[in-house]
Structure 1
Amino acid sequence: MKRLPLAAAMAAFFIFLVWSVSVRQAALFAVGIGFGAALAGARFGFTTGWRQLVEQRDPSGVYGQLLLLGLAALFAMPLLGHFTELHPALGPPSVSLLVGAFVFGLTMQIADGCGSGTLYKAGLGVPLNMVILPLFALGSFFGSVQMHDWLKLGAMEPVGLVQAWGVGPALAATLVALAVIGILVRLWVGPGKPLFEKRWVWGAVALAVLATINLVIAGQPWGVVYGFGLWAAKGAQALGLFDPANNAFWSDAGNTQRLGQSALLDVTSITNIGLLAGALWISTRKPSSSKPLTPAQWGIGLVAGFVMGYSSRLAFGCNVGAMFSGISTGSVHGWIWLPMAFLGTLIGVRVRRRFAF
């Protein structure tokens, strides 16, 4: 698609949102475009960064993510401490979190993309991610339907560090923990490896600023997974295949409200749409290339995409909603998600290598 018609379409949709939905949703659409442009322009892949560390001992992607987390925490935690109308990305420590994060870390390597990675690569026109996107949404919906049963296996109340300790101690503890991870990564990769790469640095700065703007406008941190599950739930309900009144997750007052109104009113959905548009914009300048896949690779990748969606709901988010937004806003569940997902990645990169993706 040419840039001029695409720009015209994006501008027209922005005006439509301002006129027919709300100025806030139009602003969040613009923020989403920024997310997509930053992710695709910098090729800022959470999945790729972890895989490069494991397979190549290249720390630049992980250091970019640590920079992103640190900057976002510096911006978000003081805001959360001073404005009670802003909410952190809290999730309950639970069995579902442990299982979901581990499985997500495994399957994201096979599917070559987490939640945001699947979105921006689909926007870039990568065939596997384009097909995985609806399967991710379907998996996320199935995970939400069974969420209540998973929580019965064991769950604690969510813990927010800003609320429990105050802004200063929560921020200090977060930055120290990130620094410790950075030191451990540096010791593991050994000397001689460059720690920072330009694209990871500017991508981290851009995403941290955009995430802060998103927090202020939306009143909640950046998320991806909820929008996917909502789209699939709306589709299942429209087809008469699903009654939300009989499900613990979707009968919750907030979720029932979102099911009954336009997806354009959902803050996660609108930034997801913007993210796709932003990545599509980048694709007009930097087309993505991918090698053809065998039938076996397609099959394994698509199954991984569905399971990734399912596990993301069990884990209360993906690399964005659980790890990035969780850690940067002081949620303990984000710190549980991180090591469990990395353990899954250690297996996932081997499965990926086994099938020559």
Structure 2
Amino acid sequence: MNRCLISAAMAVFFFFLAWAVSLRQALLFLVGIGLGGVLAGARFGFTTGWRLLIENRDASGVMAQLFLLGLAAAVCMPLLAAFPGELGAALGPPSYSLLIGAFVFGLAMQVADGCGSGTLYKAGLGIPLNMGILPIFALGSFLGSAQLEQWLQLGSIAPVGLVARFGLLEAFGITLLGLIALGWAALRWSDRIAPWFNKKLFIGAMLLAVLAALNLIIAGQPWGIVYGFGLWGAKAATALGVFDPTANAFWSEPVNVRTLSQSVFLDVTSITNIGILAGALWIAAKRKVGAAEPRSLTGTQWVVGIAAGFLLGYSSRLAFGCNIGAMVSGISTGSLHGWIWVPMAFMGSLIGVRVRRRFNF
């Protein structure tokens, strides 16, 4: 596809948002384009980084992710402390649903070869499996949100925000110590002969941290992925007459009722998701003619991959986010649930890489 045509289409959509929706949404679309461009251009894969550490003892991807978390926290935590009324953290309640959801998500993302952001940018790159998974991810996210109340009844406590609970310096100190501990563990796990510093990934991490902070400033909330997917599914189910949001605990909450009743272009998560797709598509247009195409999958691989995509959507709602909403935004804005999500998702990934190998993905 011609890059000029893609750029023109993005410009038209930007001006449409600025004119017909709001300048804020137009700016968030630009942020989304930047996120998609960086993710696709640097091939900044959260899933791949974990898999390389597990299978190849290569810590470079994980170390870049930890750098992203630390830099984002250094910017976002002071903003939250300075503007507590205007900006919100990515808080999720510690719960059994979080434990189960994070574990299943970590497993499924290795099989599907993508988390929330990975599925988006790889779909934008035109990778067939991720393009097929995207609508199934949305379906799973919607069903997970619709059943979230039942899962929370298993047991949960109120969300814990480190900045609000302990103050800025203490919260950032706790976060920094936690990231240093994870980095030490990753290096101990890895083959320490292999280089842990990847320049392209660290530059990508720096740019993603800046864009995540811009998202927080413009939207008033941290960068997220899966809420937009669930909203798309809920809108489709409501339009088809197969779902009554007023009878559902999650979708009958005032904020969700308002979002469901409005245009999808007014939802901040949906707009950045669309931007990520557009940014990745723009990067894909740069591919040289004759570049290697993804290998074709067998019928069994398609079935397993699509099933994993559904589990990604469902489990991410139970876990209050994916690698972005729970890990990046959760940890960088001081949510305790992000620190619970990471080890549970990593344990799931330990099994997921074996499932992936079993089906020869």
TM superposition score normalised by structure 2: 0.98
For these two proteins, the number of residue pairs brought into alignment is 357
Matched, 1:301 2:305: yes
1:303-342 mapped onto 2 (5 Å cutoff): 303-342=307-346
Mean alpha-carbon deviation: is it higher for 281-290 or for 292-301? Answer: 281-290
Tell me, yes or no, if the aligned pair for 2:58 and 2:191 is still in contact at 8 Å.
no
Q: Distance in 1 between matches of 2:240 and 2:32?
A: 29
How many angstroms apart in 1 are the aligned matches of 2:32 and 2:285?
17
Q: CA deviation at 1:191?
A: 2.6
* Aligned counterparts of 2:356 and 2:293: Cα–Cα separation in 1: 19
Shift of 1:169: 0.6
Q: Aligned partners of 2:258, 2:162: CA distance in 1, in Å?
A: 29
10 and 130 in structure 1: CA distance in 2 versus 1, 3 angstrom threshold: same
> Which amino acid in 2 is paired with 1:41?
G
CA contact (8 A) 1:106 1:348 kept: yes
Aligned match of 2:16:
16
Q: Give the Cα–Cα distance (whole angstroms) in 2 for the partners of residues 132 and 185 of structure 1.
A: 30
> Displacement, 1:288?
7.0
Supply the distance in 2 between the matched residues of 1:315 and 1:162 (Cα, whole angstroms): 21
Q: Look up the match of 2:37.
A: 37
Q: 2-side partners of 1:176 and 1:100: how far apart?
A: 26
Q: Is the 8 A contact 2:33 2:272 kept in 1?
A: yes
Q: Give structure 1 stretches of 5+ with no counterpart.
A: none
In 2, the alpha carbon distance for the partners of 1:208 and 1:312 equals: 22
Tell me how far apart the structure 1 counterparts of residues 99 and 320 of structure 2 sit (CA, whole Å): 10
In 1, are the aligned partners of 2:116 and 2:322 still within 8 Å (CA)? yes
Which residue matches 1:346?
350
1:40–1:234 CA distance, 2 compared to 1 (3 A): same
In structure 2, the partner of 1:216 is 217
Q: 1:186, CA displacement in angstroms? A: 1.1
Instruction: Tell me which residue corresponds to 1:59.
Output: 59
Bigger drift between 177-186 and 334-343 goes to: 177-186
Distance 1:179 1:193 in 2: 19
Q: Deviations over 1:254-295 (max 9, x none)?
A: 000001000000000000000000000000113673111011
Q: Equivalent residue of 2:233, what SS?
A: helix
Residue aligning to 2:154? 153
Q: Distance in 2 between matches of 1:317 and 1:181?
A: 20
- Which amino acid is 1:326 matched to? G
- Secondary structure in 2 matching 1:164: helix
Instruction: Deviation per CA, 1:186-213: give whole Å up to 9, x if none.
Output: 1221431111101211110010000000
| CA distance, structure 1, for counterparts of residue 40 and residue 292 of structure 2 | 10
Distance, in Å, in 2 between the alignment partners of 1:82 and 1:265 is 26
- Tell which deviates more after alignment, 19-28 or 289-298: 289-298
Q: Mapping of 1:195-210 within 5 angstroms?
A: 195-210=196-211
Matches within 5 A, 1:1-357: 1-84=1-84, 85-286=86-287, 289-357=293-361
Q: Which moved more, 1:182-191 or 1:208-217?
A: 182-191
Shift of residue 218, structure 1, vs aligned partner: 0.3
- Report percent identity of matched pairs: 66
TM-score (norm 1): 0.99
Cα separation, 2, equivalents of 1:133 and 1:51: 21
Aligned Cα root-mean-square deviation (Å): 0.8
- Which letter maps to 1:127? P
Per the alignment, in what secondary structure is the counterpart of residue 250 of structure 2? coil
Q: Distance in 1 between matches of 2:192 and 2:51?
A: 19
Contact 2:96 2:152 in 1 (8 A): yes
Measure how far apart 1:41 and its partner are.
Answer: 0.2
Offset of 1:185 from its aligned partner?
1.3
- Would the aligned equivalents of 1:25 and 1:265 in 2 still touch at CA under 8 Å? yes
Tell me which amino acid in the other structure corresponds to 1:36.
Answer: G
For 2:93 and 2:207, how far apart are their aligned partners in 1?
Answer: 29
Deviation >4 Å, runs of 4+: none
For residue 180 of structure 1, report the CA deviation from its aligned partner: 1.0
Q: CA deviation at 1:308?
A: 1.0
Cα distance in 1, alignment partners of residues 297 and 69 from structure 2: 34
